[in-house]
Structure 1
Amino acid sequence: MKRTGRTAATRLGILLTALTMLFTSWTVVHAERAAALDPTTGYLMAHFTGESANGEQIYFSHSGDGLNWTDLNHGAPVLLSTVGTRGVRDPALIRSPQGDRYWIIATDLRIASGTSWADAANRGSTSLVVWESTDLVTWSAPRLLNVAGAITGAGNAWAPEAVHDPASGDYVVYWATNSPRDGVTKHRIHYVRTRDFRTFSAPRIYIERSGSQGIIDTQIVESPNNAGGYRYYRASADGQITIEASQSILGAWTKLGDLSHMGISNGATGGNVVEGPMWMKFNGRDEWALWLDQYATGRGYMPITSTNLGSTRNFRAGPAYDLGGTRKRHGSVLALTTAESTRVLSEWGGDNTPLSRIQSFNHPDRYVRHQDFDVRIDANVSPFQDSQFRLSPGLAGGSGYVSVQSVNHPGYYLRHKNFDLVLERDDGTAAFRADATFRQVPGLADASWTSFQSYNYPDRHLRHYAYRLRLDPAATDIDRRDATFRLTG
């Protein structure tokens, strides 16, 4: 009996433990889902700016109302591609249903490097560039996803998008590839399925227009309340800006019309010639904006709006808007919760986030700048952003220590290597953190200025020598003057 009692007690204990674990697991999952369902109160736009030296990279802008936008990171890119062509266009922002993971996928293309459009379309990259994050702030290194490599004769992979498919629990990634089929070479929309943006299914054709008409720049938006009669709507550039609707992502789609009645086309009927349709649902109401890039006139994005997507005749032009200081080219908009907005704005801020230039004490016309990832002092710095930095709490050390991050190469810091100063990406190692950390101390030549003492070599300070920055002892009066700087706006 005693053995039986102990056995019964043990079984009861196991059962209670199992129930506790089950309840705890349910609570955690429920909490994650609840967090994902927090009301959205702001917007984040990922975009590129054009074919300038740094224009084909990832830029962020933020808005509280969806119409008036503030450039983040002072209009400098927040992510740089170091893979493939080393340039990106057409970024798409993807958020997991649980709100615990985010991805950016983008076209691997850099026209600014001298690539022609013909080469890019016919002999370009068949890969997409992917970044991954758990908080919208800290992003992985970029990686390539060769989605179009298995397509016969594929010349490129352009304008990628992704949408979560609740029917299968994975993501449908779709993009345009120029390739021959049935005797016709043109752009068609292909898709693959993935759960992790690392492995994926074989590519299949998603959308093909008749004859020689190509199609690119397709983007899908979901209407959870089936406003207009459908769950999903997509806009595509195919000579017109064609709007289609469906109840499922990979099901049958119904053509609703185009925007030619508004004097808007993708070139087939002239008028205001646009591309890069970009959907945005307004927070808290069943109203949508479709942003259109007026590339033919160089005027950038404009919005048209609708409260009923079931007919293209319901679109209206004319809401007042302000896109901020940078030109916005083909991108995407993600609705943000208050917590997400707070994280993004805390990291990259708006126009009021302080930036610093570091002025030389004994060569006051010269400022610290990076050039080809080396660090020096120069006058008349061009591009100007090479001399702009953000001082953040030290990657190593405690109070009083700082690290110096580049504005136009986000994630890259000044660090010493063999006592030479270079600009390098944070690799997450303790050695990097130590090499990239300095203590701000009163200027060695003038206490009203600033000197930077090394964290891991405290007997050495930043100084310029032959206009190049080094880490050296400050033994002489000249050394101390070379090691003195002033932070300016």
Structure 2
Amino acid sequence: MAALRARLSAILVAACLLFTAQVVTAPERAAAADPGYLMAHFIGEGATGQQIYFSHSTDGLHWTDLNGGGAVLRSTVGTRGVRDPALVRSPDGSRYWIIATDLCIDCGQSWDDSTSNGSRNLVVWESKDLVTWSQPWLLNVAGAIPDGRNAWAPEAIWDPETNDYVLYWATNATLNGVLKHRIYYARTTDFRGITTPQLYIDRPGTQGIIDTQIVEEPAGVGTYRYVRASGDGQITLEGSNSILGTWTTIGNLSGIGLTGSQVEGPMWMKFRDRSEWALYLDQYAAGKGYMPVLTTDPSTAGTYRLPASGSYAMGGTKKRHGEILNLTAAEESRVQARFANTAVNRLQSYNFQDRYVRHTNFDVRIDPGVSPAQDAQFRLRSGLAGSGTVSFESVNFPGYFLRHDGSDFQLVHNDGTTAFAEDATFRQVGGLADSAWSSFQSYNHPDRYIRHYAYQLKLAPISTATERSDATFRVTS
């Protein structure tokens, strides 16, 4: 009996230890959850849809719109519209670039125009932290290509063999008597200057190619170091051990029922927690945006499969041709804080209640009947200069904030400096004319408040009843 009790006790202890280990391990995994994924994309046609949008996913399959579903960057150069953004991180993580097609369909351009005489430029933004971006600039990539008529769908990949980027894109040009889209490439270190463009991918005959994206496979996976997927009448898969080396055709996705006439804009994503990839494809023919195709080995065509029904969700906005970045913990924290889904608000004047604060040609005033309505819409962000404060970011010019310059106000692009942050930061206090409303005290000139004077927004000290009324506003939807 004593031996039996000893054996039972040993079994009970072992069971408890096993149970304890399971209980302890699960919370540790949850607490150490990996950061997620960031997608840069556009959402559709028109001046609003053809801008830069961000979405986030914790698992790579279920996506949430950032910034309340609004654009995070707006092009103010070239055609003033952008599509097909590539999101590039430098090898040391100190720089980021977004490179996009300079194209605005249905807002001044038609498809025929953009194909036969489109922009030869790409639009580029740069950032040091993934959240504060430079103003955009134009990079002429197709001007040196004989009969080059446009520049579409840019991508870039770091080449360790030469310590620079291979920047590649599609241009419609005549070569050997055939006019069609081909992929060209150039080298760059900063996306401000490039080497002379060279032909990269040319399909036989009259077959054109517009979209292609390269993924690097880790050592020990697959046959090739690099795999590229291209939209060229099929979704063609090719492999190589060098970015600018010889590429071998692997196959295509017709075996799972997808052709280039149905999908475009291939976009790779590596799941960080397992040896699996998603190849996202834009279902442009059906007007549905992105869907994932899954594979455990990008270099083997037979491993690709369609996702199970209901296994993914793309969020509130349509996701179109872009790029996915696997975030670090620090990047995730910055992105989630900067592009939180802050409400869209207006600032209503207390003593002219039919008028709202708005920007017009980057000047700021109060007006009735604002059109377009977005000129009077702002996101009250956590203050750029300090906690417990607010900054006013424009909805239709993301990255632009209300900033005082002396006594005047303008809508200005955030240059990331301390001076800008302080000039664009305010303390929201009870309304000087009515405590149920709000007034906004300057962060770096605390004796002054936002007020209107002759309908222009000003920063001034407040002493009279009229001035208190002029400095009182309602934050409203």
Q: Give the SS at the match of 2:336.
A: helix
- The match for 1:103 among 97, 112, 127 is 97
Matched with 2:29 is none
1:127 aligns with 2:127: no
Percent identity over the alignment is 60
The AA in structure 1 aligned to 2:383 is: P
Contact 2:53 2:73 in 1 (8 A): yes
In structure 2, relative to structure 1, the CA distance for the partners of 1:399 and 1:236 (3 Å cut) is closer
The Cα of 1:252 is off from its aligned counterpart by 1.1
Q: Give the SS at the match of 1:323.
A: coil
Matched with 2:348 is 359
In structure 2, relative to structure 1, the CA distance for the partners of 1:387 and 1:377 (3 Å cut) is farther
The AA in structure 1 aligned to 2:141 is: V
The AA in structure 2 aligned to 1:324 is: G
**Structure-to-structure mapping, 1:3-402, within 5 angstroms:** 41-267=35-261, 273-319=262-308, 320-349=311-340, 351=341, 353=342, 356-362=345-351, 367-375=356-364, 376-378=366-368, 382-384=372-374, 386-393=376-383, 395=385, 402=390
Q: Give the SS at the match of 2:49.
A: coil
The Cα of 1:292 is off from its aligned counterpart by 0.9
Q: Distance in 2 between matches of 1:140 and 1:362?
A: 38
The Cα of 1:199 is off from its aligned counterpart by 2.6
The Cα of 1:188 is off from its aligned counterpart by 0.4
Contact 2:356 2:376 in 1 (8 A): no
Contact 1:40 1:335 in 2 (8 A): no
The Cα of 1:429 is off from its aligned counterpart by 6.6
Q: Give the SS at the match of 2:44.
A: coil
Out of 473-482 and 216-225, give the one that drifted further.
Answer: 473-482
In structure 2, relative to structure 1, the CA distance for the partners of 1:468 and 1:321 (3 Å cut) is farther
In structure 2, relative to structure 1, the CA distance for the partners of 1:207 and 1:386 (3 Å cut) is farther
Contact 1:377 1:469 in 2 (8 A): no
Q: Give the SS at the match of 1:111.
A: coil
The Cα of 1:463 is off from its aligned counterpart by 3.2
Q: Distance in 2 between matches of 1:400 and 1:311?
A: 54
Matched with 1:448 is 436
Out of 295-304 and 450-459, give the one that drifted further.
Answer: 450-459
Contact 1:51 1:111 in 2 (8 A): yes
Q: Give the SS at the match of 1:162.
A: strand
In structure 2, relative to structure 1, the CA distance for the partners of 1:136 and 1:459 (3 Å cut) is closer
1:423 aligns with 2:411: yes
The AA in structure 1 aligned to 2:332 is: S
- CA offset digits 1:194-217 (Å, max 9, x no partner): 222223211110000011110011
The Cα of 1:92 is off from its aligned counterpart by 0.5
Q: Distance in 1 between matches of 2:193 and 2:120?
A: 15
Q: Distance in 2 between matches of 1:274 and 1:50?
A: 15
In structure 2, relative to structure 1, the CA distance for the partners of 1:99 and 1:424 (3 Å cut) is closer
- CA offset digits 1:302-354 (Å, max 9, x no partner): 111011223323211124111111111110001111221111112112x4x45
Q: Distance in 2 between matches of 1:201 and 1:306?
A: 35
The Cα of 1:54 is off from its aligned counterpart by 1.9
Out of 205-214 and 132-141, give the one that drifted further.
Answer: 132-141
Matched with 2:393 is 405
Q: Distance in 2 between matches of 1:313 and 1:159?
A: 27
In structure 2, relative to structure 1, the CA distance for the partners of 1:266 and 1:279 (3 Å cut) is same
Contact 2:90 2:96 in 1 (8 A): yes
Q: Distance in 2 between matches of 1:187 and 1:68?
A: 34
Q: Give the SS at the match of 1:54.
A: helix
Q: Distance in 1 between matches of 2:387 and 2:248?
A: 61
- CA offset digits 1:390-439 (Å, max 9, x no partner): 233254xx666543222332221113457554322234677755653434
The AA in structure 2 aligned to 1:403 is: S
Q: Give the SS at the match of 2:35.
A: strand
Q: TM-score, normalised by structure 2?
A: 0.85
Q: Distance in 2 between matches of 1:390 and 1:213?
A: 50
Q: Distance in 2 between matches of 1:97 and 1:225?
A: 18
Q: TM-score, normalised by structure 1?
A: 0.83
The Cα of 1:187 is off from its aligned counterpart by 0.4
RMSD: 2.7
Q: Distance in 1 between matches of 2:302 and 2:375?
A: 45
Residue segments in structure 2 that go unaligned for 5+ positions in a row = 1-31
- The match for 1:480 among 458, 464, 468 is 468
